[in-house]
Amino acid sequence: MFLKIRMIRGSFAGAAVLALLAICSVGLPASTYGAESKISQRSIDSLTAIGTAMSEISATVKPAIVNISTTRTVKVPGGADPFADDPFFRRFFGDQLRAQPRERKLASLGSGVIVSANGYIITNYHVVKDADEIKVLLSDQREFVGKVIGSDPKTEISIVKIDASGLPTLPWGDSDALEVGDLVLAVGNPYGLNQTVTMGIVSAVGRANVGIADYEDFIQTDAAINPGNSGGGLVNVRGELVGINTAIFSTSGGYQGIGFAIPSNMVRTIMGSLLKSGKVIRGWLGVSVQRITSDLAKQFDLKDESGVLVSDVSENGPAGKAGLMRGDVILEYDGKKTDDPSQFRNMIANTLPGESHHLTVMRNNRVLTLNVAIGELPQETQEVGGEEDKNVLKGVEVQEITPELAARLDLPEQVTGVMVSDINEDSPAYGVLASGDVIQEINRSRITGVKDYERAMAETGKNDSLLLLVYRGGSSLFITLSRK
C-alpha cells in the first residue's frame, strides 16, 4: 500500500503563515481571530479525562504487541520455451524444453501478542502457516527468530516461541464478561504500520457460522482492523487481553466496521492444552444437535424456539450414559442458555474431559436436570465431518426421520430419507430447499438415513451439481442444485 503524505518544510511554512496572519489581522478586532471557546469546561475536562485514559491504556499494552513477518516457498509455473513444441528440437532435447515449475519466496506480515515473559506469543494460524522463516519484531526494535511450537487450525490459533526473557506481557481478561457496548482497543500492525491502536466497542459476542474456523465464538467489534492486524490484541479498558484479532468482513479488502476476534478464554484453553499435551484436548458429549425452527417447535409441541434439539445420541457416549434422549431439547448448560448449536458445541469443546456438569433439558413438556461427565473428543471424530461444507449442500442441516417424526409430518410409508431441519442463508441451497423437505434421493441413489446422506456428501465434489428427489407438500419432485 502506498501512502501519499505531503509535507511542507517548517521554516518556509512558518514564515508564510506569520505573514498571512499579519496581513489578515490589520484593522480586525481581536475577537475575530481569537474567539473564546463555547465548549464548557466540564465537557473539556470529561473528554480530556477519556483521552488521557485511552493514552494510558495504549502506552501500557503496546509493548506486548509484536510484528510478525514470514516467508514461505511456493511453486509457480515456469515460462514456456518457444521451441517446446517444435518436433526437431524435441527429438534431441525431449521434454527438457517443457516449462518447469519455479520456486518463489512469498513474504507476509501479521501481528502477535506476548503472553509470557519468557517468549511465548499468540498469533493466528494463517499468519504462520507453512512459513519457512518467522521473524518477530518487538516494540523496542529488537528482532528475534520465531518458532511455531503448537497450532490449532480449527480455532485459527498458533503459538510462537522466541528465545528471550523479561518481556512485557498482557494480562488475560475474562472474555465471557464482555457485553455489547463495552469499549475495546485493537492493537496491531496493519499494512506493516507498527503499534497501531484503534478504538471501538463490542458490537456482538458469540458470533458463529462466519466461515473462518471450525470452532467459532467470535467477538465482533467496530474497532478498525485491517490486513496485518491478524494475531494482534483486542484489549478492554483495564488493558487486559480479551481477544485475538482474526478477520474482517469486507467487500473492499479494508476496514468496513466489522471485525472478529477469538475470545481470550478460548485462546487460553487452547494454549494450555497445546503446551501441556502437545495437542488440543476437547470435551465431548456424544450428541448431534440442531437449531429449533418454528416448524420444529410446532412438530415437537414446544412453546418457543429456545434451546437446541437433540437429533442423535451416541449409545456409549457421555450423553447416552447420562440419560439424554433423541428429541430432548437442551435449554441450558451449567445455567447458560443454549439457543445456538455452534455456541453449544463450543461450550462442550472448551470443557475439560472428566468434569461433571449439568444440563437443563425439556422432555415431553417437563423440565429435567441431568448430570453428565464430559468425555474426550475421539480423534476420529475430530478429523471427520464438514464434507457437506465443501459442496452445494453446504449449510444444510438434516436429521433422521423417526417414526414419531414421520407421523407428525404425515409421511407415506414408502417415503424414506432425511428431513431438512435448517438452512443457512449463505448456503447454495437457500431458497431452493426448505425446512421440512424430505430428501429421498441424491443423484438417483436412495437415501434411507443420515449415514446414506453423509456417504453421498463424501462422494460429492465442491462444484458438482446434484439431482435431488424431495418429498414436499404431499408429493415428490426432482430438484437440481448447482453453484451459481
Say if residue 289 is in the same domain as residue 357.
Answer: yes
* Lookup: cell for 273: 492444552
pLDDT single digits (tens) 353-408: 888 899 999 888 889 999 999 998 876 444 333 333 457 888 888 888 888 778 87
State yes or no: pLDDT of 139 exceeds 60. Answer: yes
Which pLDDT does position 429 carry in this prediction? 84
Residues 288-295 have a mean pLDDT of 84
CA 268 to chain centre: 16
Give the 3-state secondary structure percentages of the chain, helix then strand then coil, rounded to 5.
Answer: 25, 35, 40
**Listed residues 127, 161, 195: the one ending a domain:** 161
**Listed residues 255, 277, 299: the one ending a domain:** 277
Say if residue 377 is in the same domain as residue 465.
Answer: no
What's the chain's length in residues? 484
Q: Is residue 48 part of a domain?
A: no
Say if residue 207 is in the same domain as residue 264.
Answer: yes
State yes or no: pLDDT of 1 exceeds 70. Answer: no
Q: Is residue 101 part of a domain?
A: yes
- In this structure, are strands 102-114 and 143-145 parallel, antiparallel, or unpaired? unpaired
Match 482474526 to its residue by C-alpha cell: 246
- Please list the residues that pair with 122 across neighbouring strands: 113, 159
Say if residue 150 is in the same domain as residue 232.
Answer: no
CB atoms within 10 A of CB 240: 18
Say if residue 295 is in the same domain as residue 360.
Answer: yes
More confident residue, 470 or 23: 470
State yes or no: pLDDT of 158 exceeds 90. Answer: yes
Q: Is residue 34 part of a domain?
A: no
Match 465548549 to its residue by C-alpha cell: 39
Separation between Cα atoms, residue 394 and residue 58, nearest integer Å: 42
248 phi and psi angles, rounded to 5 deg = -130, 155
Which pLDDT does position 315 carry in this prediction? 74
Buried b (16+ CB within 10 A) or exposed e, 65-89: bbbbbbebeeeeeeeeeeeeeeeee
State yes or no: pLDDT of 32 exceeds 60. Answer: no
- What pTM was computed for the model? 0.63
CA 336 to chain centre: 22
Nearest-CA neighbor of 208 among 461, 428, 426? 426
Q: Is residue 170 part of a domain?
A: no
More confident residue, 5 or 374: 374
Say if residue 395 is in the same domain as residue 314.
Answer: no
Q: Which range, 35-44, 223-232, 354-363, 424-433, is most confident?
A: 354-363
Q: What is the DSSP string of 370-411?
A: EEEE-EEPPHHHHHS--GGGGSTTTTEEEEE--HHHHHHHT-
Q: What's the domain range around 212? A: 175-277
Straight-line distance from the first to the last Cα atom of the chain, in angstroms, rounded to the nearest whole number: 33
Say if residue 148 is in the same domain as residue 226.
Answer: no
Q: Is residue 109 part of a domain?
A: yes
Angle at 390 (CA atoms; ends 386, 394), nearest 5 degrees: 80
Q: Is residue 8 part of a domain?
A: no
State yes or no: pLDDT of 10 exceeds 60. Answer: no
* Lookup: cell for 4: 501519499
Confidence category of residue 340, pLDDT binned at 50, 70, 90: confident
Contact predicate 146/236, CB 8 Å: no
Looking at residue 141, which CATH number applies to its domain? 2.40.10.10
Match 518477530 to its residue by C-alpha cell: 136
**DSSP class of residue 130?**
T
Say if residue 395 is in the same domain as residue 352.
Answer: no
Query: What burial class does residue 464 get, using C-beta atoms within 10 Å of its C-beta: 0-12 exposed, 13-18 middle, 19+ buried?
Result: middle
Contact predicate 147/163, CB 8 Å: no
Say if residue 393 is in the same domain as residue 473.
Answer: yes
Which pLDDT does position 68 carry in this prediction? 92
Helix, strand or coil for residue 174? coil
Separation between Cα atoms, residue 103 and residue 71, nearest integer Å: 12
Say if residue 401 is in the same domain as residue 434.
Answer: yes
Q: Is residue 14 part of a domain?
A: no
Distances (CA, A) of 98 to 91, 93, 202, 218: 13, 10, 56, 48
Which helix (H) or strand (E) segment is 110 a member of?
Answer: strand 102-114
Say if residue 375 is in the same domain as residue 462.
Answer: no
Which helix (H) or strand (E) segment is 90 a member of?
Answer: helix 87-93
Q: Kindly compute the dihedral angle of the four CA atoms of residues 227, 233, 234, 240, in this order, to the nearest 10 degrees.
A: -170
Q: Is residue 464 part of a domain?
A: yes
pLDDT single digits (tens) 183-203: 999 998 888 788 889 999 999
- Please list the residues that pair with 477 across neighbouring strands: 470
Helix, strand or coil for residue 43? helix
Residues 97-119 have a mean pLDDT of 77
**Listed residues 361, 382, 403: the one ending a domain:** 382
Domain count, the chain: 4
Which pLDDT does position 19 carry in this prediction? 46
pLDDT single digits (tens) 261-283: 999 999 998 999 898 888 888 88
Which pLDDT does position 3 carry in this prediction? 35
Helix, strand or coil for residue 150? strand
Q: Kindly compute the dihedral angle of the four CA atoms of residues 155, 161, 129, 246, in this order, to the nearest 10 degrees.
A: 40
